[in-house]
Structures are given as C-alpha cells and as structure tokens.
Amino acid sequence: MRRLIEAYVRLLRVLLTVLICLLVIPVTLQIVARYTELIPRYIWTEEAARFLFIWIIMIGATIAVRERTHFDVDVLPRPSTPRAKAVSQLIVDAAILVIAAVFVVYGWGYAAFGYAQTSELTGINMLAMHVAFFLAGVTWVIFIAERSLSALAVIIGGGDDAE
Amino acid sequence: MTPNEIAGLMLGIFAVLIVVRVPVAFALGVACVPVFFLDDRLSPVLLITEMHKSYNSFVLLAVPFFILAANLMNSSGITQRLVELSRAMVGHFRGGLGHVGVVVSMIFAGISGSSTAEAAGIGSLLIPAMKKQGYDSSFTVALIACSSVIGVIIPPSILMVVWGGIMSVSIGALFLAGFLPGIMIGLSLMTCVYVYARRRGYPVYTRASIMEFLRALGRASFALLAPAIVVGGVIFGVATPTEASVLAVLYTLVVGVLVYRSIGLRALPGVFYETARLASISLFCIGTASAFGWLLAFYRIPTAIMKALAPYATSVTAVGMIVAGVFLVVGCFIDAIPAMIIFGNLMLPLAERVHMHPVHFAIIGVVSLAFGLVTPPYGLCLLISCTIGQIKVVDCIRDVGILLIAMLLMLAFVIFFPNAILFVPRLIMPKFV
C-alpha cells in the first residue's frame, strides 16, 4: 500500500513539473500573436492557461499536504516527544480532513455540474477543470488515512516505535 | 445569528486552528464550513465555487511566473553577478558586505517580484560570506531578511499585481509608486549597516577601480536589462502584468541557458518543480482566503467595521495609520496575499470615506504587508534567512527589531506624504492617477 502511494506521489510530482512547463506556452503565444504576424491570435490560449493553472494549484496543494509544507504558524512550542508529535499531527490532519470531506462530497456535485457544461471558446467539457477539486479531496483522504494509522500506532504503542 | 456573531465565530475558529498549527490555508477554509451549514441560503459547495472563481483571474498567473524568473536568476548565477556588481559599487563603504546585501536586494527587486525567492537566493550567497568576514550571525540574518522585503516594494511586485487585480487599480501606477518607498527603505537599511559597522568594527573592501566597476557592470549587463523589459512593458502598456512575468521568465531562460550557459537543461525541471510547489502553496491559500473574504462580505462585515471605525477615520493620515496597523498585526500571522484579499476589502470603505487615493491606499497596504515577511511568528523571509544562517528566530529578533524601526519610519513617510508617493505615477502616467 505504502509503495503504491509513493508511486502516486511521484506521478503527481512529474505531472506538476510538466504542467508548469506547459503553462509558459499559451501566455507566450499570446504575446507573440499580438506583436507579430507569425501566428494567428489563438482563442484557446487563455482557457488553456486557466486549465493548467487550476491543475497546478490543486496538484501542488496535494503534494504539500503529503510533504507537510503548507505554511503554518509557530505560536506554541513544537511538540518534542513522539507521542505529542503524533497527537499534534492528528489534530492538524483532522482539520485538513474537513476540507477534504467538503471537496469529496460537494466536489462530486461540482464535477457533475461541470460535466453538463461545454466551454464556448474551445469546446472542451468543463469536467476537465471542475473535477480537480474532487480528486484533490480524494487524494487528501488517502494520504491522511495512511499517516493517521501510523500516528495512532505511535500513540497506542507508547511512542517507542516512532518512524 | 447576527453578522457580528458570524464574524466572531469565523475569526475564533481560525485563531484556534492557527494556534494548534493547522496550516493557514486550511484554517481559513475550515472556519467557513460551519457558517455554510448554519445559514439556509448557503451551501459548502460555495467554498469550491469561490475558490475556483479566484483562480480564474488571469492576473494571478503572474505569481508562479515571477517566482520562476527569480528561481532561474538564482540557479543561473545571475544573482552572483549582481552581487559582484554591488560589491564594486558599495563594497568600500564601512560594513561593505552589508551594503552589498542591501544594494543587490534593490537591483534584484527590479527584476523579480518575489521576496521569498530573493531571501533564498541572496541569502545563500551572502549569509555565509558575511559570517566568514566576522559579521555577527544575528545581524547578518536580520539584514538579509529585511533587505529582501524590498523585493515586493520595488517593481515588479507580486503583491502589487494581486492588489491591482482584486481592487481594480492600475498596476502600472502601483509599480511607479513603489520606486520611492523601496529606495528609501534601502537607504534606511544602509544607514543602519553603517552605524552597526562603526560600533562593531565590521570590515570594508578596498574601493573598486573604475575598470573593475565597468567589468562588473558588463558582466551583469544582461541581468540589468531585465527590469527595463518587465517594468517598462507594464508601465507603457506593452504587456499585461502576466505577460510581463512570462517575458521575465523567457528572458532569464535565454540569458541563463544560451548567453551565460550557466544553467544546464538537466537542472531546469528541478527549478520548474520547486517553483510550482512553492507557488501552488501560496495560490491554494488565495483560494480559501477568497472564500473567507467572500463570506465576510456576504454578511456585510466590511460595512460594520467601517461604521465602528468611522469616528477614528477623520483624515487620510488617520486612515493610513489604521490600515498600516491592521496589516502589520495581521502580517505577523498570515501570508501577505490572503491578508490583502480579506482585510484590503474590509478597509476599502474606510479609505473611500476619506477620499484616500487608491494608489496611496495600495502602497501603504503593500509596504506594511511586506514588513510582515520579517515579523514572527509567521515571517517567511526571516524563516528562510534563519534556516540559511543556521540560527533560531529568537536569536536575531533584537536586530530585526532595530532594523524594523528604521523601516517603520519610512512607512510613516509613506502614510504622511501621499503627494510624494504619487509624484512619479502622476508624472509618467497622468491618465491613470
């Protein structure tokens, strides 16, 4: 299971790199089209940029949950024992899980709402963008479920077998 | 529930979650959720729709591109060349390397719109060098962190782009208005370096000869052309801010890969990945902050706040101090962009009430929020510098405080003299100001 999740995270990292490289293209085309006659003024560039953008944000935010790199604030001192650390992580993950739940439950309907629409500019189905929230929610649930189990093991096991 | 109770509930939940170390982005989102359930007119799906709406802004695309341009500058050695140029310019002043840090921050700021990339790039070059020459670690770290703040004050600036986008203010005018406060903050920091250097006997470099200066200038010349392209493009309406940010990326790519040949094609995916990772963390937070701000606006909290503060909002100066005070406090705890999305809109009615100029309002906001980058507990630039300098935040807090006093004096100038701030934009872009 752990291996499968690791492979999934690697896939997300590769996707993120590819998407940000691609993001440079539509905006560049826009500038080139405006100031030269080399290429026509494509109508899809802005929509392509929006599409890439939403996926970059959602994939990036997903990886950041996995790596715990979302910004937090040091008001309290950092927990020092493995058990305190595990409890603190469970609390944080519970809050993330609230957003994940909203994304899963209501993101499904939002994706369906997108499926019913087609972009007037490019003809792509809006599901392609709307589904990003749902998938981010599902991924967070998987990540959090996995590490909550190990956190619980630490709390119950008395903190000796910390990672 | 009354609007005041709703606002209390949301801010209360947010505060509690922050204390137990829930990431800011998620704390903002979770604080909205109960309200969505309490009110029959609302549904949690609004969290998603409001987030998606905020990401549909074309202007926000500039955020990852400006960070990418800065990261490319760091990994292609452009930053190193700028350091050498600064050394030839101010290295012979007392406290040489300290002045170099401030000056290179100002030049870097003219190309990049991101303070965090600036702290990371300049810090990794100068902090080890300064420590080696005998500068105290705490002063070194504090100085590099405070100088990097200039990154979002001297144009281009991610904060100005986002502010202009959400408040519908001319971004070109904001860019022009940013020069003066940015340079003043730089000079105030250099004054501090001088005083520190005198009292602690920090070393100097021998004065660079004209030839050495010209050589350093030549080596940095491609880098120095970038501000003209990026800032000039926006001010003269040749490119939108988003397009200008892409131009900055393309330019640094061409210079780094083809001209200087200092960055290999193999290293590029890593730079792109790091950029996307960092940018998406801030951008995700913009989404939840937008939902949070939207909910406050739905209950007309901004109007309520304006009514409550109206007795104190007697003049432009008074409102300026309120705006700066709120942003300085908020900036200690959350990132600048969500802070501006939530609290900028909250204070807009106050600014309009006293007919504060939108550009003046924006510059006060951007400068005070930029200071939030070095104020703990949540000061990203300070955290980055401390990591590089391998010291704890508490150990440099005193030096940060001293430098911050000098910078706050410059903020006071911005508040008290709107005409000085508006002078450059009025001169160059009279239509927009």
Whether the CB-CB separation of B116 and B337 falls below 8 Å is answered with: no
Number of other residues whose CB lies within 10 A of the CB of residue A62: 26
Q: Write phi, then psi, for B123 (nearest 5 degrees).
A: -60, -45
Give CA–CA dist B18/B26, Å, rounded: 9
SS3 A125: strand
Nearest CB among B44, B250, B377 relative to A75 is that of B377
Number of other residues whose CB lies within 10 A of the CB of residue B241: 30
Nearest CB among B23, B51, B279 relative to A70 is that of B23
Contacts of B61 in chain A (CB under 8 A): 23, 27, 49, 53
Buried b (16+ CB within 10 A) or exposed e, B137-172: bbbbbbbbbbbbbbbbbbbbbbbbbbbbbbbebbbb
Whether the CB-CB separation of B324 and B369 falls below 8 Å is answered with: no
Residue type, B252: T
Q: What is the mean pLDDT of each run of 10 residues along chain A (163 residues)?
A: 92 96 90 79 83 95 94 82 91 96 96 87 84 96 93 78 44
Whether the CB-CB separation of B138 and B396 falls below 8 Å is answered with: yes
Q: How far is A146 from chain B (nearest CA, A)?
A: 18
- Any chain A CB within 8 A of the CB of B56? yes
Question: What residue of A is the nearest CA neighbor of B274?
Answer: A17
Contacts of A133 in chain B (CB under 8 A): 48, 51-52
Rg (CA), chain A: 20
Question: Which residues face B312 on adjacent strands?
Answer: none
Q: Write phi, then psi, for B387 (nearest 5 degrees).
A: -60, -45
Give CA–CA dist B370/A18, Å, rounded: 31
Q: How many CA atoms lie within 13 A of B112 on its CB side?
A: 32
SS3 A159: coil
Rounded to two decimals, the ipTM of the complex is: 0.92
Tokens 């602690």, located at residue = B200
Give CA–CA dist B230/B238, Å, rounded: 10
Question: What residue of A is the nearest CA neighbor of B13?
Answer: A95
Whether the CB-CB separation of B87 and B100 falls below 8 Å is answered with: yes
Give CA–CA dist B87/B119, Å, rounded: 18
Contacts of B49 in chain A (CB under 8 A): 110
Residue-level pLDDT, tens digit, chain B, 433 residues: 788 899 899 999 999 999 999 998 999 999 999 999 998 999 999 999 999 999 988 888 888 998 898 889 888 888 899 999 999 999 889 888 999 999 999 998 887 778 888 898 899 999 999 998 889 999 999 999 999 999 899 998 999 999 998 899 999 999 999 999 999 999 999 999 999 999 998 988 888 889 999 999 998 888 888 888 888 888 888 888 888 889 889 998 998 888 888 888 888 999 999 999 989 998 998 899 889 989 988 988 888 887 888 899 889 999 999 999 999 998 888 888 888 988 898 899 999 999 999 999 999 999 999 999 999 888 889 988 998 999 988 889 999 999 999 999 999 999 999 999 999 999 988 877 7
The pTM score is 0.89
Q: How far is A115 from chain B (nearest CA, A)?
A: 15
| DSSP conformation letters of B329-389 | HHHTTS-HHHHIIIIIHHHHHHHHHTT--HHHHHHHHHHHHHHTTTSSSS-HHHHHHHHHH
Whether the CB-CB separation of B304 and B3 falls below 8 Å is answered with: yes
Q: Is the alpha carbon torsion for B46, B49, B51, B53 positive or negative?
A: negative
The size of the A-B interface in CB pairs under 8 A is 166
Rg (CA), chain B: 22
SS3 A118: strand
Contacts of A98 in chain B (CB under 8 A): 26, 29-30, 33
